Amino acid sequence: DVKVTQSSRYLVKRTGEKVFLECVQDMDHENMFWYRQDPGLGLRLIYFSYDVKMKEKGDIPEGYSVSREKKERFSLILESASTNQTSMYLCASRGTGVGTVGTFFGQGTRLTVV
Amino acid sequence: LAKTTQPISMDSYEGQEVNITCSHNNIATNDYITWYQQFPSQGPRFIIQGYKTKVTNEVASLFIPADRKSSTLSLPRVSLSDTAVYYCLVGATNTGGFKTIFGAGTRLFVKA
């Protein structure tokens, strides 16, 4: 089974802190994604990466950056955490190729910014 | 990217078959249809994927008519543990920059 592992299940950070959320996948997938999920807003795409050192903005990239130095690892960075970034953050990965089946998600990191 | 429309919520009883329909009128030739299940405080979990006609696995069936403008996820004999949000997604699988975009999903509540 594909495994997508996020480094923390719960985090509490202070306003203004720099926050790193780490994600590792073990299936050699090319594509990795970061979403945030908020009640009533569903899952929204923050950034995605289709190769090492490659990244593209999703729908809500403001206030975030990402890093993909190795194929298996995709990091989300909150440069200066704010209370409106309190959310559930989900990392995902998927392969590339005709008939690639599904996007696989981690368990999520519930981040609270106080 | 093809936009999807699903019912916001559905109720069912244990042991019943549940069918959730998703509309995707502007689906493209290369697009596949994928369904996910999400429990509270967990990431979405892949259920089933198809391109046309019918696909069945150990969890569900997916029915896709010839025009592919809609699809129906069928869950046989649901149990209380099937209470979750179900998402329908449409997109191509063979593109590296593929963005997986989720809609609002359908909240299924299974009652005893």
How large is the average pLDDT for residues B38-48?
A: 89
Q: Chain A contacts of B94, Cβ < 8 Å?
A: 96-100
Work out the pLDDT band at B98, boundaries 50, 70, 90. Answer: low
Nearest CA distance, B47 vs chain A (angstrom): 8
Residue A89's nearest CA partner among A46, A25, A36 is A36
Contact call for B99 and A30, based on CB within 8 A = no
Interface test with B, best of A57, A60, A100 (most B CBs within 10 A): A100
Confidence (pLDDT) at A100 = 66
Contact call for A98 and B93, based on CB within 8 A = yes
- HEC sequence for A64-110: EEEEEEECCEEEEEECCCCHHHCEEEEEEEECCCCCCCCCEECCCEE
Q: How far apart are the first and last CA of chain A?
A: 36
Q: Chain B contacts of A101, Cβ < 8 Å?
A: 46, 49, 93
Work out the pLDDT band at A23, boundaries 50, 70, 90. Answer: very high
Residue B65: pLDDT above 90?
yes
Contact call for A42 and B49, based on CB within 8 A = no
Confidence (pLDDT) at B93 = 60
Contact call for A107 and B43, based on CB within 8 A = yes
Confidence (pLDDT) at A42 = 79
Nearest CA distance, A13 vs chain B (angstrom): 19
Question: What are the φ/ψ torsions at residue A36 (nearest 5 degrees)?
Answer: -125, 150
Residue B84: pLDDT above 70?
yes
Residue B26: pLDDT above 60?
yes
Q: How far, in whole angstroms, is CA B24 from its chain's centroid?
A: 12
Do the Cβ atoms of A102 and B34 come closer than 8 Å? yes
Share of chain A above pLDDT 90, in %: 71
For A66, half-sphere exposure in the C-beta direction (CA atoms, 13 angstrom radius) is 27
pLDDT, tens digit (0-9, with 9 covering 90-100), for A48-91:
998 899 999 988 999 999 999 999 999 999 999 999 999 999 99
* DSSP-derived pairing of the beta strands A4-6 and B84-92: unpaired
Contact call for A50 and B96, based on CB within 8 A = yes
Q: Which of A43, A48, A97 sits opposite B94 (nearest CB)?
A: A97
